[in-house]
Chains A and B, each alone.
Chain A
Amino acid sequence: MKNDFLDIGGHKFKSRFILGSGKFSLDMTRKVIENGGVEMATLAVRRANVGGMENILDYIPKGITILPNTSGARNADEAVRIAELARELGCGDFVKIEIIRDTKYLLPDNAETTKAIAKLKAKDFVILPYMMPDLSAARDMEEAGADAIMPLGAPIGSNKGLLTKDFVKILVDEIDLPIIVDAGIGKPSQACEAMELGVAAIMANTAVATANDPGTMAKSFKMTIEAGRLAYLSGLGRVLENRGEASSPLTGFLEE
C-alpha cells in the first residue's frame, strides 16, 4: 500500500476519492475535503464567480488539485472553450470533460467527448472524460489522448450504485488507463464494491451532499474506498456464486 498511488498522466495521488462539488454548501467544502482525505475536487467552471460572491474557487483549500469540469457544454467545441477558460482562471491543467445533450437524463455523449479529447490533448491538458461505459468508445478515448476514463455507474444524482458493473469491469480489464467511476455511487458500500473490481478511484458528490452529515459521510467514503482498494490488491478469493462445484467429477473416467 505504501507505494500504491493513483497515477493520472504522471501526477500521483495517494487518495482515490475524488470529490464532486456543487451540490452542498460551500462552507462545508473544507470539512468534507479534510474528512475524506480528498486530494482532488471537481469544480464546475460555470459556477466560478471570480471576484463575486459565493465563488466556489475561494472555498477549495490550497494544495488540492482542482479538476474543472465542462458541465454545460453540449458539444466538443464548447467543452474545449470551457477547458481553456478554466486554465485562464488558474485552475491548472486538469479537465474533466462532460458533454451532455440531454437535460433529462444527463447522459454523456461519447462521440463528442472523443473529439474534445483530441483537441484538448493538443493543448496539453490532463484529460479525464466522463463517459458511458462502452469498450469501443473507451479505446477511442485512450487513442485520442485521455489520461483516465470515467465511466458512469448510474445516471448522475441517482444514487443507484454500480448499475453498469459488468461494463465497467470490461474497461478495467481491457483499458490501460485508470478507470474512475463517476456518477451513481450512492453509498460507501457501493464505492467499496467498485474498488474491489479494480477501478482506480471513485468520484462522488450527491451521495455526500444529500447525507444528513456530509462531513462524516466523506469520512466513511474514505474508509470504504481504502478497504476496497486493499481487497483488490490482496487478491479476492474465488467466490462461487450460483454454481457449486459438482461433487462427482465428470471427467473421472479419463485414464491418462
Chain B
Amino acid sequence: MREFTDATDYEEDMEHIDSTILKDVLKRSSEYNPDVYTNRDVKSALSKDSLDSEDFGALLSPAAVPFLEEMAHRAREETRKHFGNSVIIFTPLYASNYCTNQCVYCGFGSRNKIQRAKLTGDEIDKEMEAIASTGMQEILLLTGESRIHSGPEYIEDLVKRATEHFSIIGLEVYPLNASEYNIMQKAGADYVTVFQETYDPKVYADMHPGGRKRNYSYRFNSNERALMGGMRGVGFAPLLGLADFRKDVFTCGIHAMEIQRKYPHAEISFSLPRLRPCMNKNLVANSVTESQLLQVAMAYRLFMPYAGQTISTRERPVFRDNIVNICATKISAGVSVGVGEHSGTENGDVQFDISDPRSLEEIKNSLLANGIQPVFKDYVRV
C-alpha cells in the first residue's frame, strides 16, 4: 500500500525535498496518548528548567488542567526571560480571496458563494498607505490559495510594494517551492506562516476534499522549503478544533522542534487559531474552550520558551489582553479580514468573524496600560 505521504501524489510542479522530518513527526504523533499522564508527570514537567517532549505531552494532557495557574506563573517567567515585557504589533492585509481549495471549515472555500475580490496594484498601494499611516511597521500579507488568481508573480509584486511602506513582511499564502520562497525572500519577505490545519492525516483528508491543499506532505514541508529558500522565520499551527487538539498541538510542537534542530538559525513561532464561525455555519466546531486554548499556549511556551507566539483577533479583547501577560508575544491590531477594507477600495467577503476589532491605537494603549511595551519594529533587514 502506498503511504499517503508518497511523493507520487505530488502534482508535477510541486517540489519534493529530501527530508525525514514528516516521517519522524508522524511516528511521534502516533505514539502520543494524552490520557496516560498523571499529576506527577505534570508536577515533574513544571519543576524542570528545560522540558523534553514527554513533559510537553504532560502539560497538554487533561492531567494538567488543575495546574493552569501554576503553568501561567511558570510561562510568564519564561516569557519575561526571553522576551522581556515586549509584545510585537502587526496587522494582516488580505489581498485576494480567490481560492481553489475546498476546506470545509473556511469562509474562502471555492464552493462558497461569496463575493470574490483581488486588489490591483493601485489598490494594494492605497490599502498599504492606509495601514502604514496608522504607524504600523509589520504587515502579514495574505491571499486565498489560488495560483491562478494570485500567482507567485502577484505575490512577489505584493511583497515589493509592501517594502515601500513596512519594515517587516510576513507571508501567509499557499505553499510554494523553495525557489519561489527564495524569490519572495529576495523581494523583501521575512517570514512565512503555513498552518497545517490538522496533523491528523485522516481528518486532513476529510477536511480538504479538493484542490492542491489535499496534498498533506507538500503542505507539511512548506516551512522547511521556506527556510531552504532563505526565509528568516517560520510559523506553525494547527487550526484548533478540527481534530483532537491535544494531539494536533503535540504534533505541531514536535514539528517545530525538529525544524529548529535542523535549521538552528530559524526563528520559530506558533499561532493559536481557534475555529471560528464562518459561512459554513453547519460545521459544528470540535470546540476548544478558552481555558484549553490557554493551556495550549502555555505548554508551547514551557516546551519551547524561545519561540514567538501570536494571538489573533479570533479571540475576545479580554483574553488577548491577558494572554500577552502570560505567554503571547505578538498581537494583531486594526484588523480587517475582508479584501480592500482598510482603504474602502473594494469589498470582498471576510474569511471569518473577528472578536477584537480594536484599532492599532487602542491596542497600543491597552498594552501600555497593562505594563507591556508595544514594539512596532523588531527586525532590520540588511
Residues of chain A whose beta carbon lies under 8 Å from any beta carbon of chain B: 22-26, 45-49, 52-54, 72-74, 78, 81-82, 85, 101-104, 106, 157-159, 205-206, 209-210
Known interface pairs A49-B137, A72-B380; A23-B306 also in contact (CB < 8 Å): no
Closest Cβ neighbor of B167 among chain A residues: A49
6 additional contacts (CB under 8 A) given A25-B371, A103-B267, A210-B77 = A22-B84, A25-B368, A25-B373, A47-B377, A52-B135, A74-B265
B380 near A22: Cβ-Cβ < 8 Å: no
A54 near B380: Cβ-Cβ < 8 Å: no
**Which residues of the partner chain A approach B372 to less than 8 Å between Cβ atoms?**
25
CA distance A82 to B382 in the complex (A): 7
**Closest chain B CB from A73 CB (angstroms):** 8
A-B contact pairs, 24 of them (CB 8 A): A22-B84, A23-B80, A23-B84, A24-B84, A24-B373, A25-B368, A25-B371, A46-B377, A46-B379, A46-B380, A47-B377, A48-B380, A52-B135, A52-B137, A52-B377, A53-B376, A54-B375, A78-B382, A81-B382, A101-B265, A103-B306, A104-B260, A157-B82, A210-B80
Q: Main secondary structure on chain A at its contact with chain B?
A: loop
Residues of chain B whose beta carbon lies under 8 Å from any beta carbon of chain A: 77, 80-86, 135, 137, 167, 260, 264-268, 304, 306, 364, 368, 371-380, 382
**Which residues of the partner chain A approach B80 to less than 8 Å between Cβ atoms?**
23, 206, 209-210
**Other-chain residue from A24, A49, A157 in contact with B377 (beta carbon distance below 8 A):** A49
CA distance A72 to B373 in the complex (A): 19
**Other-chain residue from B84, B86, B376, B378 in contact with A206 (beta carbon distance below 8 A):** B84
Q: Main secondary structure on chain B at its contact with chain A?
A: loop
**Which residues of the partner chain A approach B371 to less than 8 Å between Cβ atoms?**
25
**Closest chain B CB from A254 CB (angstroms):** 53
Known interface pairs A25-B371, A103-B264, A104-B306; A85-B382 also in contact (CB < 8 Å): yes
**Which residues of the partner chain B approach A47 to less than 8 Å between Cβ atoms?**
375, 377-378
* CB-based closest 3 A-B pairs: A23-B84, A81-B382, A157-B81
Known interface pairs A24-B85, A25-B371, A206-B84; A85-B265 also in contact (CB < 8 Å): no
Closest Cβ neighbor of B376 among chain A residues: A49
B375 near A104: Cβ-Cβ < 8 Å: no
CA distance A52 to B375 in the complex (A): 10
**Closest chain A CB from B46 CB (angstroms):** 18
**Closest chain A CB from B15 CB (angstroms):** 25
**Closest chain A CB from B14 CB (angstroms):** 28
Closest Cβ neighbor of B266 among chain A residues: A103
**Which residues of the partner chain B approach A26 to less than 8 Å between Cβ atoms?**
373
CA distance A6 to B344 in the complex (A): 58
**Which residues of the partner chain A approach B267 to less than 8 Å between Cβ atoms?**
103
**Other-chain residue from B81, B135, B260, B377 in contact with A158 (beta carbon distance below 8 A):** B81
A46 near B378: Cβ-Cβ < 8 Å: yes
**Closest chain A CB from B87 CB (angstroms):** 11
**Closest chain B CB from A41 CB (angstroms):** 14
CA distance A81 to B372 in the complex (A): 30
**Closest chain A CB from B132 CB (angstroms):** 10
